[in-house]
Amino acid sequence: MKVVAVGGGHGTAVSLRALRGLTNDVTGVVSVADDGGSTGRLRALLDVAAVGDLRKCLGALADPENALAQSFEHRFTVGELDGHAVGNLLLVGLLDATGNLEESVRAVAQLMGVTGTIVPASCEGVVLLASTGEGPTRGQSQVARSSSIRRISVEPANAAAPIVAVEALERADVVLIGPGSLFTSVLAACVIPGILQALAGTKAQKIYVANLRPQIPETADFSLQDHVDALWDHGVRPDRVLVDVRSTFARETCSLATTVADIAGRNGLVHDVQKLAGAVLAEVR
């Protein structure tokens, strides 16, 4: 079975860990629009693509016994390095030296014993743009602070998607969209023109994994249908939705086929890797 997870951040990392339990043919198509924290500081300093979400997703598919993988999330706490993750510095160092984002990610993946493929959603860093009730907003961090997002896009508008990402979507049997922040993680990856076109053309079963709760303020007061409508408004059309049984969304109706399952961890704050894997497998049998 060929599977792809699209999005960014912790949500896509969880999806990748779940899918890795089902097959070795796993691809993560990951947003490079982040501009906050360590990633944002490095982007501002070196004018490079965002690597933070790529770092998290590489860690999700890495060999847990690998020495580099074990230290990849370590953050420095002193001096100018304060707050920077080892993985971010390694990725940015390779990118600064080679100028090639895809090759830098591939090189790190080999060093970490990654099973599967991690690929950026675009061949270069992009800036997230949003139309909101307060007017135009620029940059992922600023967009995430809005509670009235109407539409997002990226700059440059013609940002190219890596061929590897497009081909993975085209040949996939299953595509997981999300979970994660709807506009600043999930759609930030999906709206890259080549990714959007590949999602529209794939014959894979496309499953939207809903968040466990609204993302405040980004999707404050959003219903499950509001999430689906936002995806459709941007040209992303899942076949069905997967919702946790304890989520408020589980009690709501939706225009898409919806499966309610126990897929959250004990604290109800994050998805459980094993439960999510089982729910996805049940959907595709």
Number of structural domains found in the chain: 1
Q: Give the residue-averaged pLDDT of 146-153.
A: 94
What would the pLDDT profile of 173-230 be if each residue is shown by its tens digit?
999 999 999 999 999 999 999 999 999 999 999 999 999 988 999 999 999 999 999 9
Residue 263 CA to residue 11 CA, distance in Å, equals 13
Q: Give the residue-averaged pLDDT of 66-81.
A: 86
Per the CB < 8 A criterion, the answer to whether 33 and 138 are in contact is no
Q: What's the whole-model pTM score?
A: 0.95
Of residues 177 and 265, which shows the higher confidence score?
177
Residue 196 CA to residue 67 CA, distance in Å, equals 36
Pairing of strands 26-30, 135-138: unpaired
Q: How confident is the model at residue 36 (pLDDT cuts 50, 70, 90)?
A: confident
Token pair for 129: 């743009």
Q: Give the residue-averaged pLDDT of 223-239.
A: 97
When the pLDDT of each residue in the chain is averaged and rounded to a whole number, the result is 93
Q: Can you give the residue range of the structural domain that contains 169?
A: 3-284
Within the chain, residue ranges assigned H as helices are 9-20, 37-46, 52-61, 67-71, 86-98, 101-111, 140-143, 163-171, 187-190, 193-201, 224-233, 273-284
Q: Residue 40: what pLDDT?
A: 80
**Given a cut of 90, is residue 77 above it in pLDDT?**
no
**Given a cut of 80, is residue 285 above it in pLDDT?**
no
Q: Is the peptide bond before 238 cis (omega within 30 degrees of 0)?
A: no
Q: Give the residue-averaged pLDDT of 116-137.
A: 94
Share of the chain above pLDDT 70, in %: 100
Q: Residue 266: what pLDDT?
A: 85
Q: What is the CATH number of the domain that holds 191?
A: 3.40.50.10680
β-pair partners for 118: 28
